[in-house]
Structure 1
Amino acid sequence: MPLNSKKDSQSVRTRIGKGVRLILGLVTVAASVYFINVNGALAEAAVKIPAPAIDVAADPNISPQTAVFAGGCFWGIQGVFQHTKGVLNAVSGYAGGEKETADYRSVSTGKTGHAESVLITYDPSQISYGKLLQIYFSVAHDPTQLNKQYPDTGTQYRSAIFYRDANQKRIAEQYISQLDAAKVYPKKIVTQLNPLTAYYPAESYHQDYATLHPESGYISQFDLPKIVNLKRLFPDQYREDPVLVGSQPMVKTKVPVEK
C-alpha cells in the first residue's frame, strides 16, 4: 500500500518498532545462553569478555568516527550496532574486494575477496572504538569460526576488522592478543585485520533487514538473540529503538564510501 503522507510513514515505522520489541520480548523469555540451530547443534552464544586494556578515551571534541566489522551475514552485525548507544548509523555493505564485484550476487560466490561488512558511524564522546570491539567480539559474532558463521559458510562470511588507521589497527591487535591470552574462548581467535581502502554499501533491500523482517526464521533464530544478548550483557550501551539507515545523514570520512 503506498504511503500518502509523512504521517503514514511514521505510523508504519511505529508498527514495525512495536513488532520488533514484541518479538525481542518473546525471544528474551525463551532464550538461554545458548540457542539451537537447524541442525540441532549449539548456535552462537554470547561470551562475557573483559574490556580492552588499551582504548581511546571519550572526547567530545572529536568529530564522528567510523569502524568497519565483518562477521557472518551483515544483517545480524547491523542489527546489533543499530541497537548500540552512540552509534549514529550502521550500513550493511562490502569490503575487501573491488568495486566491479561489490554486489550481492558476486559476493555470494565467495570468490571476490569481499566480506559482508557493516560500516559503523559513531560518536566518540558516547562510545569508544574499544567498546565497539568488545560488543563485536562478545555478542555480534563468534570470532573463532574460520570463514563461517552459523549457518553461513564461505570467505564472504569471515571474521574481519577493516581498520581505518594505525591507531585502530593497534587497538584491535592488542585486544585480540589480550583475549587469546585470557582464554575466554575455547579456540583461538581467527579474526583478520585488513586496511580499509573502500567501502561499498549493499543493495537497499539488505538495509535494516533485522528490523523490517523480525518474522523471518533466519532473523529470529540467529540475529534477534544477538540483540537480546546485547541488552543482557551491555545494558548501559543498549538502545531500545534502533537507529535506521538514512535516519541520519552519512558522515564524511577519510575512507572512500563508493556507491
Structure 2
Amino acid sequence: MNRIRASFAAVALATAACSQAMPAAVAAEETVRAPVADRISRESEGLKNAYFAGGCFWGVEAVFSHVPGVTSAVSGYHGGNAATAKYDIVSSGVSQHAETVKVTYDPKIVRYDQLLRIFFSVVHDPTQLNRQGPDRGAHYRSALIPVSADQRAVARAYIDQLEAADIWDRPIVTKIETAKRFYPAEPYHQDFAHKNPRHSYIVRWDAPKVAALRRLLPQHHRSSFKTG
C-alpha cells in the first residue's frame, strides 16, 4: 500500500511540475533561427558533456534528445547541494538549483557551438529573466554551465555575437555559471515528454519546440528519440 501511494505521489508531482497556472497573456518562448557561431568549438575526440538550464527541463531534454550526435540527455539540478537536489525543494524556490539538462554528445557529429545555436534558437527564450513561458522562479533561469575552457570561451563569444546581432527586442539574460555537481532528477522526470506526449503541458509548450527544431534547423533534427 505504501509503495502504491509513493508511486501515485510521484505521478502527481510530475503532473504539477513545470505547469503552474499563469495569465493567458504570457507568451510561449520565442523561436528564431539564430546565426551560426563565429567561434567554432575545438574539442578533442570522445564523448563530451554540456549543461543547459532554460526553464522546465522536460522541454530542454526533449529537444536535445532529437539532435543527431547526442547520446543522452538527462534532466536534473545544478547550482545547489545534494540536500536540496529534490524536486519538491527545488520547485519551492528555496534552493540555488536550476532545472538543468546534462547533454552527452559526440563532437564529431555535433559541436558545442552548434548545441548553443539550438539552445538559443528553439529550446528557450534567453530574454526571460528567471522564468520560461508559464513557469517562474530562479530555478527556471537561463544559464550555460561550461565544463572546459573551450566551452566557456565559445559560450561567451556566442552570447556576445547574439547581443550584437540584435535578434530580440529585449536584452539577453543568459548567465554563464561555474560548474558544480550535477544531480539527476527523479526517475519520473526522465524522458517525460517522450513518455507523456499527450500531457497538456507537453502539447502546449514542449512539442512545439521539437517541431521548431525540425522546421528551423533540420540538419540538427532526427525523428528518433535518444533516451537518457
Question: TM-score, length-normalised on structure 2?
Answer: 0.88
Q: CA deviation at 1:42?
A: 3.1
Unaligned runs of 5+ in 1: 1-36, 246-259
Q: CA deviation at 1:38?
A: 6.5
Query: What SS class does the counterpart of residue 173 from structure 2 fall into?
Result: coil
Q: Which residue of 1 aligns with 2:175?
A: 192
Q: Which residue of 2 aligns with 1:26?
A: none
Q: 2:55 aligns with which of 47, 72, 79?
A: 72
Distance 1:185 1:142 in 2: 9
Query: What SS class does the counterpart of residue 104 from structure 2 fall into?
Result: strand
Output the amino acid matched with 1:135.
I
Q: Which residue of 1 aligns with 2:29?
A: 44
State the percentage of identical aligned residues.
45
Which is greater in Rg?
A: 1
Q: CA deviation at 1:224?
A: 0.2
Output the amino acid matched with 1:46.
T
Q: Which residue of 2 aligns with 1:53?
A: 38
Q: Deviations over 1:11-70 (max 9, x none)?
A: xxxxxxxxxxxxxxxxxxxxxxxxxx960543122111111100125x7x6010000000
Output the amino acid matched with 1:211.
H
Q: CA deviation at 1:175?
A: 0.5
Distance 2:27 2:174 in 1: 21
Task: Give yes or no for contact 1:69–1:119 (8 Å, CA) kept in 2.
Answer: yes
State how 1:202-221 maps to structure 2 within 5 Å.
202-221=185-204
| RMSD (CA atoms) | 1.3
Q: 2:163 aligns with which of 166, 180, 184?
A: 180
Q: Which residue of 2 aligns with 1:111?
A: 94
Question: TM-score, length-normalised on structure 1?
Answer: 0.78
Q: Deviations over 1:116-163 (max 9, x none)?
A: 000000001000000000000110000000000010000000001111
State how 1:138-149 maps to structure 2 within 5 Å.
138-149=121-132
Q: Deviations over 1:169-214 (max 9, x none)?
A: 1111110011001101111110111121210000000000001111
Task: Give yes or no for contact 1:165–1:195 (8 Å, CA) kept in 2.
Answer: no
Task: Give yes or no for contact 2:53–2:140 (8 Å, CA) kept in 1.
Answer: yes
Output the amino acid matched with 2:69.
G
Distance 1:48 1:146 in 2: 21
Query: What SS class does the counterpart of residue 102 from structure 2 fall into?
Result: strand
Q: Which residue of 2 aligns with 1:14?
A: none
Output the amino acid matched with 1:150.
G
- 4+ aligned runs moved over 3 Å, structure 1: none
Q: 1:224 aligns with which of 194, 207, 211?
A: 207
Distance 1:133 1:84 in 2: 12
